[in-house]
Structure 1
C-alpha cells in the first residue's frame, strides 16, 4: 500500500509539473506568384512570403510559481518555393532564438537573437512583407540603415501593468565583421510608447558600429530613429511613421529620411491594405516613392488568399526595382504578388 501511495503522489506531481509547462510547434507556409516589371528587364516567378514570411518554430513557457515564468523561442525562416533556409541552404533559427525570464510585476529579460528595438517600432500596413513592404535605406543600395535583427542581445521589456505604457532596452555585442545590417556590429537600442484600445504610438532609437567591409577595418556608426503610431477607427486603421537613418565613418557622412502612411480596412472576411512610403537620401539625388494596394481574403482563421500591386517611382540616381525586375536610373517599376498563406 505504501508503494502504491508513493507512486500515486509521484504521478500527481508529474501531472502538475506537466500542466505548468507548455511547448508549441508553429509555422507559416506562404507561396507567392511574383511579377516584376522594369524599364530594363522583367521577371516572373514563384516566391515565398508575400503576406507573411514562411517559418517554422518552437516556443514554450514554464510556470515557476509566484508570478515567475521561464520561456524559450526558436524560429527559423525558409523559402517555400525551393525548401531552402531563409539565409542559407540549411534551416537555422536566425529569425529568433531566445530564452527569457518573465515576471508579472517586473517584466521580461530576454537573451539571444531577436528583432532590434527600432525595427519593433515600424508601423507598416503590409507588415514589412511582400511587394508592398515599407521602403528602407538599404533598399537604395546604401551600406547603413535600420537593423532588422541582432545576435547576442540582452533585452528588457516592461510589464503589461503600466496602464498602456511600455518600454524596451536592448544591448548587443556581436564583434566586428562585414557590414550586413543584420548580424554584425556592437550597439544598443531603446523603445518607449503607449498602447491602449484603438491607440498605439511609439518612438525608438538604435545605434550600431560595424566594420566597413571585409578588407576595410574602419568603423561605420549607423544610427536609426523612428516615430510611429496607429489609430483604429473600427471601419479602418490609420498607420503613420517617420524615421531617419544616419551613417558616419569610413568616408561616409549621409542621412536618409523615411516616411510611411498606410491604412487597413476590414471588408467582410477580407482586409484591404494600402500605403505610400518614401526613402529620400539627404543632400543627394537618391529618392524612391512606392504606392501599394492589396487585398487579403481569409478562407478560414488559418488560410488566406491575397494579392498586392505596387508601383515604385525612382528619382535621379535611384534605380530600385520590384520582384526581381531591373530598371534604369530615375525610371519606374511595377510589381504584383498573388499568393496563398497557411498558418499552423
Structure 2
C-alpha cells in the first residue's frame, strides 16, 4: 500500500506539473484563385493567403508561479500553392520569440516579431488578399520601411491587461549592420484604448540611416467601433524620408457586417499618395466570407484600383500603364487548425 501511495503521489505531482505547462500546434491553410486585369497584361494564378496568411507554428506557456509565466512562439510561413516556404525556404520567419509575462506588470518579448507600427493597422480585410489597404510600400519605394511588417532582433514591452482598457507597447530593435553602423536600428511606440465596441490606437516608429532616404519615420492612427449591425474601421498614416524631405501617406475607411451568423460582408476604400508629386492610387474593395464551420470558410473579394498622375499599381500580378486602372478578384478556401 505504501508503494502504491508513493506512486500515486508522484503521478499526481507529474500531472500538476504538466497542467502548468502547455504546447500548442496551430496553423492556417488558405488557397486562393487570383485574377488580375491591367491595361498591359493580365494574370490568373493559384496563390496563398487571400483571407489569412498561411502558417504553421508552435507556442507554449509555462506557469512559473506567483503570477509569472514564460512563453515561446515559433511560427513559419509557407506557400500552399506549391508547398514551398516563404522565399523558398522553411524557417520561423513570421515570428520567433520568447517571453516573460506577469499578470500585473505585462510582458517582455524578445526575437523576431511584428513592429509596433504594424500592430496599429486597422484594416477591414486584415491586410490580406486583393482587398488589403494600400500602404506606402505599394509605391515601390523605401518610404514604408519604417512600417515594415516584422523586424528582427527586437525587444518589446507590452503593458498588462488590467489598465481599464488602456494598452501600450515600447519596442527597440537592432539592424546589426557591419562595423557597428546604425543602419537598420529602430524603435516603435504604440498606445491606445480598447473597451467594449471601441478600439483606438496611435503609433510612431523610426529606422536609422537608409541610404539616400536618410532616417525614415512612420506615424499612424486608427480605430474601430462595433455598432452591432456593422463594424466601422478607419486608418491613416504617413512615412517621412528625412534625407529627401518627402512624405508618403495612406488612408483607409472600411466596414465589416455579419450576415445571418454564418458570414461577413467586407468593404473598404484606401488611398496612397506622395506629397507634392500628385502621384496617387485609390482602391475600392468588397468581399464576402462564408463560414462553413468555426475553422473553415469560403471567401471572395473584388477590388478596383484607379491610378493617377504617374502611379502604375496593379492587382494580383497584372501590369498596367501609368495612370491606368486595374481590377482584381480572389476566390478562396481557408482552413485553420
Shift, 1:142, TM fit: 1.1
- Alpha carbons 2:221, 2:235 under 8 Å: kept: yes
1:226 maps onto 2:226 in alignment:
no
Give the SS at the match of 1:8: helix
Shift, 1:2, TM fit: 5.5
Shift, 1:317, TM fit: 1.4
Single out whichever of 143-152 and 99-108 deviates more from structure 2.
Answer: 143-152
Q: With structure 1 as the length reference, what TM-score do the two structures score?
A: 0.93
Equivalent of 1:242, from 224, 236, 246?
236
Give the SS at the match of 1:79: coil
Shift, 1:15, TM fit: 1.1
Q: Comparing both structures, which one devotes a greater share of its residues to strand?
A: 1
Query: C-alpha separation between the residues in 2 aligned to 1:126 and 1:267?
Result: 16
How many residue pairs match? The answer is: 330
Structure 2 unaligned residues grouped into runs of 5+: none
Query: C-alpha separation between the residues in 2 aligned to 1:323 and 1:132?
Result: 10
Give the SS at the match of 1:15: helix
Query: C-alpha separation between the residues in 1 aligned to 2:327 and 2:210?
Result: 35
- Alpha carbons 1:303, 1:343 under 8 Å: kept: yes
Equivalent of 1:277, from 266, 270, 273?
270
Query: C-alpha separation between the residues in 2 aligned to 1:281 and 1:211?
Result: 18
Matched residue, 2:56: 56
Matched residue, 1:267: 259
Shift, 1:144, TM fit: 2.1
Matched residue, 1:110: 109
Deviation track 1:30-80 (CA, whole Å, cap 9, x = no partner) reads 000000000000000100000000100001111111111111111011111
Deviation track 1:105-143 (CA, whole Å, cap 9, x = no partner) reads 001000111001110001100000000001111111112
Query: C-alpha separation between the residues in 1 aligned to 2:89 and 2:309?
Result: 39
Matched residue, 1:29: 29
Q: Within 5 Å, which residues of 2 pair with 1:4-83?
A: 4-83=4-83
Q: Comparing both structures, which one devotes a greater share of its residues to helix?
A: 2
Query: C-alpha separation between the residues in 1 aligned to 2:311 and 2:56?
Result: 36
Equivalent of 1:290, from 259, 283, 292?
283
Matched residue, 2:156: 155
Aligned-pair Cα RMSD in Å: 1.4
Deviation track 1:219-277 (CA, whole Å, cap 9, x = no partner) reads 7311100011100000000001111111122xx33101111000001001100000000
Query: C-alpha separation between the residues in 2 aligned to 1:198 and 1:280?
Result: 31
Give the SS at the match of 2:78: strand
- Alpha carbons 1:285, 1:318 under 8 Å: kept: no
Shift, 1:324, TM fit: 0.4
Matched residue, 1:165: 166
1:300 maps onto 2:260 in alignment:
no
- Alpha carbons 2:269, 2:284 under 8 Å: kept: yes
- Alpha carbons 1:311, 1:335 under 8 Å: kept: yes
Give the SS at the match of 1:144: helix
Matched residue, 1:180: none
Shift, 1:10, TM fit: 2.6
Give the SS at the match of 1:84: coil
Matched residue, 1:215: none
Shift, 1:175, TM fit: 1.9
Structure 1 unaligned residues grouped into runs of 5+: 178-183, 213-217
